[in-house]
Amino acid sequence: MTARNENPGPETVPVRPDDRGPGRPEHPGPGGPGADAAAPPARWEHLAPGVARRRLPGWDATVGAIAGDGGTLLVDSGSSLREGAGIRREVVELFGRPVTHVALTHGHFDHVLGTAAFAGVRVYGAVGLAGRLAEGREALRGGALAQGLSPHDTDEALDVLVVPDHPVSGELTLTLGEREVLLANLGPAHSGHDLVVCVPGEREVVFCGDLVEESGEPQAGRDAVPARWPAALDRLLELGGEDARYVPGHGAVVDADFVRAQRDQLARRFGVGG
């Protein structure tokens, strides 16, 4: 079985043996077996009023959607144009309005290659991500093909690759009508350009990207900066607080205790003090 490895190479840290990859049954999502045959809204997990997420089949990557009366923000876009187009349709069915903004949590293929399916939207990413994607098409292609995305789907997405046109340095408050959402640049850590999305509410929802993974141990590829990863999770916990629902880039929703334990595990794994 091939492990999911977004940045294959000699500097990559081995990942868990139960990881997603070619030949592994696709994750059916929170609805359980057969959920992907259900009506699209049944594939989505509702986290708060106007806030939902879906665990995509294949690599178990998260996409999130946050709806306000002035727009809808999508968190990550899937691994291909076909997947992105399906997400676009499902969000309309879910909230009755189209996606107007996309936030990319980092630049790995399973989170960004669907972005071109969302014509005319504003695309946000950590400062520097646009250049990294524009200059790193071959690395994206290699990672996608190594993980089993078809050459057709890979090249189709790369031919129309969309990079962020709204860079986030530090923190940015995005207004979706009556709803405000915080975008925070916490990288480099898991990758060179890590962005998280915080949705205030009675219980805050935090989309963590791959700074947090529930399906197994977090991965560190060649673009990771392990020495800064624990500090990024400290900041994540400051932003979300003890009662928040933390949505990993892969896996089930977790709480602050899980994030804190993973932070300590990473510090031990990479020999980072504090």
- For 71-104, the pLDDT digits (tens) are 999 999 999 999 999 999 999 999 999 999 999 9
Q: Is 139 helix (H, G, I), strand (E, B) or coil?
A: helix
What's the rounded Cα separation, in Å, for the pair 142 and 41? 33
Segment among 71-80, 195-204, 214-223, 226-235 with least mean pLDDT: 214-223
pLDDT at position 63 is 98
Q: Bigger pLDDT: 269 or 8?
A: 269
pLDDT at 22 over 70: no
User: What's phi and psi for 251, nearest 5 deg?
Assistant: 115, -175
Band of residue 243 on the pLDDT scale cut at 50, 70, 90: very high
pLDDT at 56 over 50: yes
How are beta strands 179-185 and 171-176 bridged, if at all?
antiparallel
pLDDT at position 39 is 58
Nearest to 183 by CA among 211, 207, 213, 210: 207
In the chain, alpha helices (H): 81-95, 109-112, 129-135, 137-146, 151-159, 229-240, 256-270
The answer to whether the CB of 143 falls within 8 A of the CB of 12 is no
pLDDT at 36 over 80: no
Q: What is the percent of the chain where pLDDT is above 70?
A: 85
pLDDT at position 41 is 67
CA Rg value for the chain: 17
Average pLDDT over residues 22-51: 59
CB proximity list for 235: less than 8 A, separation 6 or greater? 184, 186
